[in-house]
Structure 1
Amino acid sequence: WVRERVNRLFDPGTFHEVGSVAGTVEWKRLAGIKEEPVAFTPSNNVQGFGALRGRKVVFTADGALVEKTIYMEKMAIELRLPIVKLVDGSSGGGSVTTIRTQGYSYIPPLPSFSQVAKQLELGIPNLGAVLGPAIGLGAARVVSCHFSVMAGDIGSLFNAGPKVVAGATFEEGLSFTDLGGPGMHCTNGTIDNLAADEEGCFEQLRTVLSYLPNHGLALPPVIKSEDPVERSCESLRTIIPRRRTRMYNPRAIIETVVDAGSWFEIGALWGTTAITGLARLDGRPIGIISLNCEVNAGALDALGSQKLTRHLKFLDTFNIPLVQFVDVPGYAIGTVAERSATMRHGVALGTTYFSTTMPVFSVVTRRVYGVAGGLMLDCRDPRMRIAWPSGEWGSLPLEGGIEVGHAAELKKIEKEKGEEARELRYKELDEEYRRLMNPVRSANAFAAEEIVDPALTRRITSAWVKHVYDELLPLRLIDRANGKIKPVFY
């Protein structure tokens, strides 16, 4: 089955197997020291080189012959080539029968994981697909990848299988899907993306690779774009509702601004308060971050923060500039948010914004409030950002903010003049603050650097991305080669 998958994954005729004669041989003794093979069973561990849309990559698939895997992991480092991992099994992980075979037990070794850590450090793309049950070491190999995808019809992933779980935890009768299927791991962030089947996994692997360099000392690949940079985006002028409580489709903004057909979302099923992915502007790869006002009113929760943290590290690893569309009322609040450690994960996101060094351009589409808004918009100096006329910002949203800031005054009015007088005063305060929060006033004070026509967003961001690729990223590669920049993915 591995060789069948190889033929479907790679460009026709490009796969070259390494260790093709590795396997189990039955030998027949002849005269003297002579012998001849009479039967041969190839190793189920298939390794080699192939091409995805013309890009040469290292390939590994599951099997018990760990030496082949270690060899190819080292080849990816030596040749600075992306590595693709198809996982269906334990990847040569432990078995209790080994004790009987060897005659003794052992402290579990992980001889191949040092190479994985080295690849991540060097920015060598690690792309993994779960095409069956990924167990133990197999699960660890795919989760350690920069990008992972699971086949919805056959994929599952777990630390130990149902029988081990039943013996250790008394959870009985679990299927592979119950224990670690797509509904579990594509919604909690363990696996990035879900595909319908193997073919869908292969297509996602090809697509992600098309945005990435071969290693961290190279620029992302630029292609020719048929989508004009000057294309005006008039629909963006009306996409933000006039009523502040109404939602809109943030993905429509992304798809309108970037090159047609270039948007590839990563992690759509988990951390849904945030949207992350890859796209192109005038053929140049960019990372995308957006808040999702359709979920939790856009308030950033713990999982959303983790998702953004992972994506920032991903972009920093591959020298990909970030364009972010910001509409954030702050971090999620309430008992659920507190119980899920939202602030801890939010602070981790903040430190990642400030510790990564890839260029960042921000488009304020509507709200920027609180710590979350400040971390996202104030993470680079000087700031590269524009705002739409629909923008509003501050330390706290007026809903609740007026109650806190004028608590004593409102309480006194209610006590002396009644509830109706209190409501009237609240309305007066609300109108006063909304007048003062006109974004043009912020621009007059240079608190917002530039307010632009939303229809020009594609043109403005494309010009910035072109400058980044022409002038800034080459300097970044020099600093990275000299050790001044050391991105960390995990």
Structure 2
Amino acid sequence: MTIEKSLLEDLQKRRSERMLGGGEERIKKVHAKGALTARERFDLLFEEGTFQEWGMHVEHACHDFGMEKKTLPGDGVVTGVGQVNGRSVAGFAQDFTIGGGALGQRHAKKICDVMDYALNCGLPFVAINDSGGARIQEGVDALSGYGQVFYRNVALSGLVPQIAVIAGSCAGGAAYSPALMDFLIMTRDNASMFICGPQVIKAATGVETTMEEIGSAAANAGISGNVHFVADNDAHAIELVHELLSYLPANNLDNPPHMPAENINLEPDPVMDTLVPADAKGMMDMMPIIQRVVDDGKFLEVHQQFAPNLLVGFARVDGIVVGVIANQPKVKAGTLDIDASDKGARFIRFCNAFNIPLLTLVDVPGFLPGVQQEQGGIIRHGAKMLFAYCAATVPKITVIVRKAYGGSYLAMCSRDMGADVVFAWPTAEIAVMGADGAANVLYRREIEAAEDKSAKRAELVKEYHDQFASPYMAASRGMITDVIEPSTTRANVSLALRSTLMKSETRPPKKHGLIPL
């Protein structure tokens, strides 16, 4: 039996109508802003011809405030599954051309259906947010829809990677679904994300503010830390999604997409011997060290604008995917403060959930001192770093480059915190406090009694370092695996990663630990 031509023509007509979203005029308005439509964003995300749409023919009839009945094709959201670099990925893209992409009951059901599929099939999930918020006309049904989406965000958490793209408006309750996901990418010019806008803030508090101050990409990435990446435009945002996915497994039962080199490069890198300043107090940039350890200098930095005194991101070492955590002495001397502790702990816990080995590079003088830090809860926030490292069961490789003082030495994954291998450079100084400060405390009377106080202080500082703070002292107590030449760092890290990839660690059964939130 042959299908009637009219039926096929009708199907094609219906598909064509829905491909136009809210119509050509609304599409032109989106393009005029330099933005893309929902379907154009998916065209960039998925390999050509691989996207299978879910719920194209769902539609909803609603009334606007003038009680005029309107039909919303697709109910303002495109959902489905497609291929990204040969792997299946599920997702949704809200369509601002249809009812402003507002979320209603059927809109939410479409999202929930594809999230359930991602959960059951172990697929990464990508959400492209561009919505005017809850559909007011649907009242509590719209709020219920958000609740159902949030519930699934939590169900997916730790099971599959979740990536949110903020490509337009994301206001009020709508902001909480991205906030529950693992990584947020926000476009620089056409996007905003906030709970209460400037007018609401002024009405409630009397304070005048602007969208730039509270809801822009700059504010969310650099001040609040809500956003991990800022994209120049929609195409750049999708590029970042692709790059992120290239380091991530499909789910928590899968291994990261390692591409182990057949032959490990064991050649020394003499440049590494020149990267630590002769002056122990001199300013140092950790980024060149990271770039020389990882393959081809490629380091996908996460949270670049937030808490820059701590660097985190993804890379490969001889093809093995790693999550890198490193102090950045260029900023706040590399101290750990409230924001850096939150940033580090969150990244460590993500890597642990998805079987990504951790490489920690240490140059930390301590936790940042100050009244604001103490009153802001640096104890509680710093404890998150301790908790995250202790709870992590993935391979943990630590390299102490320079300073490692006090509690921050522990917070940067010492042997006592479960590091599998700890290397130290000869320039490392591991102690309760810096040699200068310790000499002033321990040898104050000797210094004061000396004729040449500066010379005596220098002598005692060296004595303290040699006796109590040198890497050989820590190594003599089994706290350092080996003291290595900086030039051999990449080779040593690569070998350690290969030997720990099959690591298996069992912890006592419990529902979950209680991280100090």
Name the TM-score, length of structure 1 as normaliser: 0.85
User: Is residue 183 from structure 1 mapped to residue 218 from structure 2 by the alignment?
Assistant: yes
Structure 2 equivalent of residue 216 of structure 1? 252
Asked whether the equivalents of residues 323 and 360 of structure 1 are also in contact (C-alpha less than 8 Å), the reply is yes
User: Is residue 61 from structure 1 mapped to residue 93 from structure 2 by the alignment?
Assistant: yes
CA distance in 1, matches of 2:87, 2:149: 24
Larger mean CA deviation between 163-172 and 264-273 belongs to: 163-172
Cα distance, 1:150 vs structure 2: 0.8
After superposition, the C-alpha distances for 1:26-67 in whole angstroms (9 at most, x for unaligned) are 9xxxxxxxxxxx988443211011122222111112242111
Asked whether the equivalents of residues 377 and 383 of structure 1 are also in contact (C-alpha less than 8 Å), the reply is no
Structure 1 equivalent of residue 76 of structure 2? 44
User: Is residue 397 from structure 1 mapped to residue 434 from structure 2 by the alignment?
Assistant: yes
Give the 3-state SS of the residue equivalent to 1:194 in structure 2: strand
Asked whether the equivalents of residues 402 and 430 of structure 1 are also in contact (C-alpha less than 8 Å), the reply is yes
User: Is residue 75 from structure 1 mapped to residue 117 from structure 2 by the alignment?
Assistant: yes
CA RMSD of aligned residues (A): 3.0
How many residues end up aligned between the 2 structures? 460
Cα distance, 1:484 vs structure 2: 7.7
1:32-431 residue pairs with structure 2 within 5 A?
Answer: 41-62=73-94, 63=101, 64=103, 65-90=107-132, 93=134, 95=136, 97-99=137-139, 110-121=147-158, 123-172=159-208, 174-175=210-211, 177-187=212-222, 188-223=224-259, 225=261, 229-375=265-411, 376-381=413-418, 383-407=420-444, 409=445, 414=448, 423=454, 425-431=456-462
**Alignment gaps of 5+ in structure 2:** 1-36, 63-69, 95-100
CA distance in 2, matches of 1:140, 1:14: 30
Structure 1 equivalent of residue 13 of structure 2? none
Cα 1:251–1:421 change in 2 (3 A) is: closer
Cα 1:275–1:57 change in 2 (3 A) is: same
CA distance in 2, matches of 1:352, 1:292: 20
1:439-450 residue pairs with structure 2 within 5 A?
Answer: 439-444=471-476, 446-450=478-482
CA distance in 2, matches of 1:73, 1:252: 40
Cα 1:244–1:173 change in 2 (3 A) is: closer
Cα distance, 1:171 vs structure 2: 3.7
Cα 1:275–1:227 change in 2 (3 A) is: farther
Cα 1:162–1:23 change in 2 (3 A) is: farther
Cα 1:225–1:180 change in 2 (3 A) is: farther
Cα 1:227–1:254 change in 2 (3 A) is: farther
Asked whether the equivalents of residues 290 and 324 of structure 1 are also in contact (C-alpha less than 8 Å), the reply is yes
Q: Give the AA of the match of 1:183.
A: A
Q: Give the AA of the match of 2:215.
A: G
Q: Percent identity?
A: 27
Q: Give the AA of the match of 2:462.
A: E
Cα 1:369–1:172 change in 2 (3 A) is: closer
Give the 3-state SS of the residue equivalent to 1:89 in structure 2: coil
Cα distance, 1:224 vs structure 2: 5.5
After superposition, the C-alpha distances for 1:95-142 in whole angstroms (9 at most, x for unaligned) are 3x445x99xx98896122221111004x21101111012112321111
Cα distance, 1:341 vs structure 2: 2.6
After superposition, the C-alpha distances for 1:217-245 in whole angstroms (9 at most, x for unaligned) are 11111225599523432110111111112
Q: Give the AA of the match of 1:113.
A: F
Give the 3-state SS of the residue equivalent to 1:280 in structure 2: strand
User: Is residue 460 from structure 1 mapped to residue 492 from structure 2 by the alignment?
Assistant: yes
Q: Give the AA of the match of 2:424.
A: A
**Alignment gaps of 5+ in structure 1:** 27-37
CA distance in 2, matches of 1:214, 1:244: 44
Greater RCO between the two (CA within 8 Å, min separation 6)? 1
CA distance in 2, matches of 1:486, 1:283: 32
Asked whether the equivalents of residues 312 and 324 of structure 2 are also in contact (C-alpha less than 8 Å), the reply is yes
Cα 1:361–1:94 change in 2 (3 A) is: same
Cα 1:382–1:88 change in 2 (3 A) is: closer
Name the TM-score, length of structure 2 as normaliser: 0.81
CA distance in 1, matches of 2:427, 2:394: 28
Q: Give the AA of the match of 1:70.
A: C
Asked whether the equivalents of residues 214 and 220 of structure 2 are also in contact (C-alpha less than 8 Å), the reply is no
Asked whether the equivalents of residues 475 and 481 of structure 2 are also in contact (C-alpha less than 8 Å), the reply is yes
Cα distance, 1:288 vs structure 2: 0.4
Asked whether the equivalents of residues 317 and 488 of structure 1 are also in contact (C-alpha less than 8 Å), the reply is no
